[in-house]
């Protein structure tokens, strides 16, 4: 039988954000030096050969030993600045250096950025990977994930940090140089380091990586290559095998390899295929893991479709009865091989990254390793699970909540929910606390959320569409003036370091106005050629306990076009305001008006018409 060639889709990454303005803020050299000195606290770290040499160095420089690590022969000295250079020339002192600062180890790709989804590696928060407990990420070090692909650039920072095991079934050597770039991208998603403060964060936490090169330098692969790679991975301790490749037909060789892995309790994860817009032809080995016509039932592994930022199936992704679940696969962010062709893998600059090459890519090839990495976390959370148990947990915890459909299977991957399900616990979702106090027409709001790096404040007035008051801020409070007679619903959206957004419960402020009935009465007094009239405005609020006295009422006259204020008077304790006016020959339309207050609605009296002949 002739070997069956499998198609490795090489999808060009997109440099979608090349035009985004990036701001970089730096200080002067003097400012940087002051910052380092302040951070160091005026201390020097020295390596010494003997205790005697350390005592001698301290005496010679006027320093004081403030901390020692005896096993390493390292000490921290507080030393006068002018004497710091003395240490370098002293016998028994191996070195003297300023302390090297350490910061929180957060991978730059998941930091907030002017990029798709709020972070370059938007898929991390989209699959709720960022809500997985650190203990589960660390426990995954007991699990090995094998990536069968075009090889891997093991000098890429996120892969180098894992010190991956490597083997090429094509070259029978440990050299897995990745000229195609596909395997490096896939490996970074499955098992890129989450603790090296560089590049991207893989979905597998501390899971060990076994990179098995199954393709030739030109990217071609046969079912024999695939089978050899599966057997090698199984025999060398892999619990999970990722296969981001496929073709339209299968073979006995491929089927035997799949059966071999299943018999050894290995979980197989495969990409569904990218022909969703070009015939949707089933892809193998995926269709061997979740058989055609199964509608998500049974199978010996997981078939992964691609989802977009919205959570819907990506248009290119295969669909149908053999889909197990979906994971982000449209414009996802990953590490690139330094040996790959920039034409096929455009480079994307990553602020905060000191090394490595990164970019965007689309395809079910990149959805599959996310699920493979997540499987390592689930298995680490409960080592007693079988491969079938892990698969079921990932399916049942996905966004479909147990329901299946042909587009995304059981739904989009939810890593945190899967890990929690394996542990028999619940997901700890960060919350936004929003509160406030009101004084008159002013409301002072305050908010907070653990891990948030920015906030957005919005308000809806009287149930209308919410308006943004603060688009992006690090502030945790603000004061606003409100208008009487309206209701306000404030919400705060917090964004964490992974781009995850959480919305607070609404903080509602209602400024009800007691209605006021305002009346106007006129009585005529005797006069010649003119009329002297006494007008009384009657102020009558609906609220029983609302004071009626000292309310300003305005007397207004209509000139045929608009109303004009002619007089003002304050009400008595009983709510009566009095005006005495003299009118000449003519016709008059007069009314009283109350402008309103914090506790009272505006009011206008009936119109009184007077004629003088």
In tens, the pLDDT along 393-422 reads: 999 999 999 999 999 999 999 999 999 999
Sign of CA dihedral 215, 216, 218, 220: negative
Inside any domain, residue 73 = yes
What does the pLDDT read at residue 16?
A: 30
What DSSP line would sit under 435-457, residue for residue?
EEEEETTEEEEEEE-TTEEEEEE
Q: What CATH number has the domain bearing residue 47?
A: 3.30.70.80
User: Does residue 525 register a pLDDT over 70?
Assistant: no
Same domain, 192 and 232: yes
Inside any domain, residue 453 = yes
Query: CA dist 87 to 12, 43, 108, 286, Å?
Result: 55, 12, 37, 65
Model confidence at 344, pLDDT cuts 50, 70, 90, reads confident
CA atoms within 13 A on the CB side of 11: 26
Q: What CATH number has the domain bearing residue 182?
A: 3.40.50.200
Backbone φ and ψ of 75, nearest 5°: -140, 155
Question: Of the candidates 358, 338, 362, which has an alpha carbon nearest to the alpha carbon of residue 349?
Answer: 358
Question: Residue 46 belongs to what domain range?
Answer: 29-97
pTM greater than 0.75 (yes/no): no
Of 9, 61, 107, 182, the active-site residue reads 182
Same domain, 247 and 137: yes
When mean pLDDT is compared across 106-120, 175-189, 268-282, 473-487, the lowest value belongs to 106-120
Alpha-carbon distance 80 to 93, whole Å? 17
Q: Mark 291-311 as b/e (b = at least 16 C-beta within 10 Å).
A: beebbbeebbbbbbbbbbbee
Same domain, 502 and 520: no
Alpha-carbon distance 315 to 306, whole Å? 9
Asked if residues 361 and 185 have their Cβ atoms less than 8 Å apart, the reply is yes
Asked if residues 246 and 283 have their Cβ atoms less than 8 Å apart, the reply is yes
Query: CA dist 147 to 155, 171, 283, 548, Å?
Result: 16, 17, 18, 81
Inside any domain, residue 42 = yes
When mean pLDDT is compared across 135-149, 386-400, 437-451, the lowest value belongs to 437-451
Give the bridge partners for 576, in sequence order.
Answer: 538
Same domain, 143 and 221: yes
- Is 73 an annotated catalytic residue? no
In percent, the amount of the chain with pLDDT more than 90 equals 59
User: Does residue 27 register a pLDDT over 80?
Assistant: no
Question: Of the candidates 212, 136, 191, which has an alpha carbon nearest to the alpha carbon of residue 382?
Answer: 136
What does the pLDDT read at residue 101?
A: 52
Query: CA dist 205 to 192, 197, 209, 270, 454, Å?
Result: 8, 13, 11, 20, 26
The residue assigned the tokens 């990454």 is 13
Helices (H), 305-404: 364-381, 387-396
Alpha-carbon distance 231 to 174, whole Å? 16
Of 61, 107, 149, 275, the active-site residue reads 149
Residue with the bigger pLDDT between 542 and 233: it is 233
Question: Of the candidates 187, 210, 208, 197, which has an alpha carbon nearest to the alpha carbon of residue 335?
Answer: 187
Residue 478 CB neighbours (<10 A):
18
- What's the pLDDT tens digit per position in 182-214? 999 999 999 999 988 888 999 999 999 999 999
Inside any domain, residue 18 = no
Give the bridge partners for 514, in sequence order.
Answer: 600
Model confidence at 477, pLDDT cuts 50, 70, 90, reads very high
- Mean pLDDT, the chain, rounded, equals 86
Same domain, 462 and 395: no
Asked if residues 332 and 117 have their Cβ atoms less than 8 Å apart, the reply is no
Query: CA dist 304 to 183, 191, 240, 312, 492, Å?
Result: 17, 17, 14, 13, 35
Same domain, 241 and 310: yes
When mean pLDDT is compared across 204-213, 291-300, 445-454, 459-468, the lowest value belongs to 445-454
When mean pLDDT is compared across 107-111, 258-262, 406-410, 531-535, the lowest value belongs to 107-111
Q: Mark 26-39 as b/e (b = at least 16 C-beta within 10 Å).
A: eeeeeeeeeeeeee
Of 187, 188, 307, 365, the active-site residue reads 365
Model confidence at 261, pLDDT cuts 50, 70, 90, reads very high
User: Does residue 103 register a pLDDT over 60?
Assistant: no
Query: CA dist 457 to 75, 217, 269, 445, 453, Å?
Result: 49, 53, 42, 10, 14
Give the bridge partners for 307, in sequence order.
Answer: 313, 328
**Last residue in a domain, options 457, 479, 510:** 510
Question: Which helix (DSSP H) or strand (DSSP E) does residue 471 occupy?
Answer: strand 467-473
Inside any domain, residue 499 = yes
Question: Of the candidates 93, 106, 18, 81, which has an alpha carbon nearest to the alpha carbon of residue 50?
Answer: 93
CA atoms within 13 A on the CB side of 485: 10
Inside any domain, residue 24 = no
Residue with the bigger pLDDT between 421 and 25: it is 421
Question: Of the candidates 414, 407, 430, 424, which has an alpha carbon nearest to the alpha carbon of residue 370?
Answer: 414
**Last residue in a domain, options 97, 120, 140:** 97
Same domain, 480 and 546: no
Asked if residues 363 and 332 have their Cβ atoms less than 8 Å apart, the reply is no
Token output for 82:
């002018």
Alpha-carbon distance 442 to 483, whole Å? 9
Strand positions, DSSP E, 150-216: 165-168, 208-213
Asked if residues 98 and 44 have their Cβ atoms less than 8 Å apart, the reply is yes
Token output for 394:
């990932």
**Last residue in a domain, options 458, 492, 510:** 510
- Is 236 an annotated catalytic residue? no
Average pLDDT over residues 207-236: 91
- What pairing do the DSSP bridges indicate for beta strands 442-448 and 477-481? antiparallel
When mean pLDDT is compared across 160-164, 447-451, 594-598, the lowest value belongs to 594-598
Question: Which helix (DSSP H) or strand (DSSP E) does residue 30 occupy?
Answer: helix 29-40
Burial of 530 (0-12, 13-18, 19+ CB in 10 A): exposed
Q: How many domains does the chain have?
A: 4
Same domain, 327 and 389: yes
Inside any domain, residue 297 = yes
Q: What CATH number has the domain bearing residue 536?
A: 2.60.40.10
What DSSP line would sit under 326-346, residue for residue?
EEE-SSEEEE--TTS-TTTS-
Average pLDDT over residues 520-546: 81
Same domain, 411 and 335: yes
When mean pLDDT is compared across 115-119, 168-172, 287-291, 396-400, the lowest value belongs to 115-119
Q: Convert 221-290 into a string of H (helix), E (strand) and C (coil).
A: EEHHHHHHHHHHHHHCCCCEEEECCEECCCCHHHHHHHHHHHHCCCEEEEECCCCCCCCCCCCECHHHHC
Residue with the bigger pLDDT between 482 and 118: it is 482
- What's the pLDDT tens digit per position in 351-380? 888 889 999 999 999 999 999 999 999 999
User: Does residue 458 register a pLDDT over 50?
Assistant: yes
Helix axes 364-381, 387-396, angle to 10 degrees: 110
Asked if residues 267 and 390 have their Cβ atoms less than 8 Å apart, the reply is yes
Average pLDDT over residues 94-113: 57
Same domain, 393 and 371: yes
User: Does residue 8 register a pLDDT over 50?
Assistant: no
Same domain, 212 and 75: no
Inside any domain, residue 10 = no
Same domain, 71 and 114: no
């Amino acid at each position: 039988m002739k070997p069956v060639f499998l198609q490795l889709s090489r999808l060009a990454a997109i440099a979608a954000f090349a035009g985004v303005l990036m701001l970089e803020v730096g200080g002067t050299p003097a400012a940087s030096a002051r910052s380092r000195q302040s951070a160091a606290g005026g201390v020097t770290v020295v390596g010494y050969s003997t205790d005697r040499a350390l005592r001698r160095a301290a005496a010679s420089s006027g320093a004081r030993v403030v901390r020692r690590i005896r096993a390493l022969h390292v000490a921290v000295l507080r030393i006068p600045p002018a004497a710091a250079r003395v240490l370098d020339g002293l016998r028994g002192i191996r070195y003297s250096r300023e302390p090297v600062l350490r910061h929180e180890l957060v991978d730059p790709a998941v930091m907030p950025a002017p990029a798709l989804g709020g972070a370059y590696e938007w898929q991390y928060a989209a699959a709720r990977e960022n809500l997985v407990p650190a203990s589960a990420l660390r426990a995954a070090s007991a699990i090995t994930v094998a990536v069968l692909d075009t090889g891997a650039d093991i000098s890429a920072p996120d892969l180098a940090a894992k010190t991956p095991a490597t083997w090429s079934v094509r070259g029978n050597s440990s050299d897995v140089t990745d000229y195609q770039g596909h395997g490096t991208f896939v490996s970074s998603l499955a098992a890129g380091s989450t603790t090296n403060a560089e590049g991207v964060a893989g979905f597998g936490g501390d899971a060990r990586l076994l990179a098995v090169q199954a393709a030739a330098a030109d990217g071609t692969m046969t079912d024999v290559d695939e089978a050899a790679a599966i057997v090698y991975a199984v025999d060398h301790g892999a619990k999970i095998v990722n296969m981001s490749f496929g073709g339209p037909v299968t073979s006995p060789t491929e089927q035997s390899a799949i059966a071999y892995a299943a018999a050894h309790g290995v979980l197989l994860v495969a990409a569904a295929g990218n022909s969703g817009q070009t015939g949707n032809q089933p892809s193998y080995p995926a269709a061997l893991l979740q058989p055609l016509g199964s509608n998500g039932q049974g199978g010996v592994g997981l078939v992964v479709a691609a989802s977009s930022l919205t959570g819907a199936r990506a248009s290119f992704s295969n669909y149908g009865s053999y889909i197990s679940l979906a994971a982000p696969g449209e414009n996802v962010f990953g590490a690139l091989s330094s040996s790959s062709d920039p034409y096929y893998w455009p480079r994307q600059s990553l602020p905060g990254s000191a090394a490595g090459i990164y970019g965007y890519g689309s395809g079910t090839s990149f959805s599959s390793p996310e699920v493979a990495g997540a499987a390592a976390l689930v298995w680490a959370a409960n080592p007693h699970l079988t491969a079938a148990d892990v698969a079921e947990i990932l399916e049942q915890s996905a966004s479909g909540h147990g329901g299946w459909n042909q587009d995304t299977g059981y739904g989009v991957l939810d890593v945190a929910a899967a890990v929690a399900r394996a542990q028999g616990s619940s997901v700890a979702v960060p919350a936004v606390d929003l509160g406030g106090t009101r004084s008159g027409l002013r409301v002072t709001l305050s908010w907070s959320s653990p891990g948030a790096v920015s906030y957005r404040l919005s308000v809806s007035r009287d149930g209308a569409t919410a308006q943004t008051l603060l688009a992006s801020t690090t502030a945790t409070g603000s004061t606003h003036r409100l208008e009487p007679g309206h209701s306000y619903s404030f919400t705060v959206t917090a964004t964490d370091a992974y781009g995850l957004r959480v919305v607070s419960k609404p903080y509602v402020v209602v400024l009800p106005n007691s209605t006021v009935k305002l009346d106007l009465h006129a009585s005529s007094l005797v006069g010649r050629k003119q009329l002297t009239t006494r007008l009384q405005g009657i102020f009558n609020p609906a609220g029983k306990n609302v004071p009626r006295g000292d309310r300003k009422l305005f007397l207004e006259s209509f000139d045929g076009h608009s109303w004009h204020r002619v007089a003002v008077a304050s009400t008595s304790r009983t709510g009566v305001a009095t005006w005495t006016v003299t009118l000449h020959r003519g016709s008059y339309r007069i009314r009283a008006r109350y402008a309103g207050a914090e506790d009272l609605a505006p009011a206008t009296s009936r119109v009184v018409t007077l004629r003088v002949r």
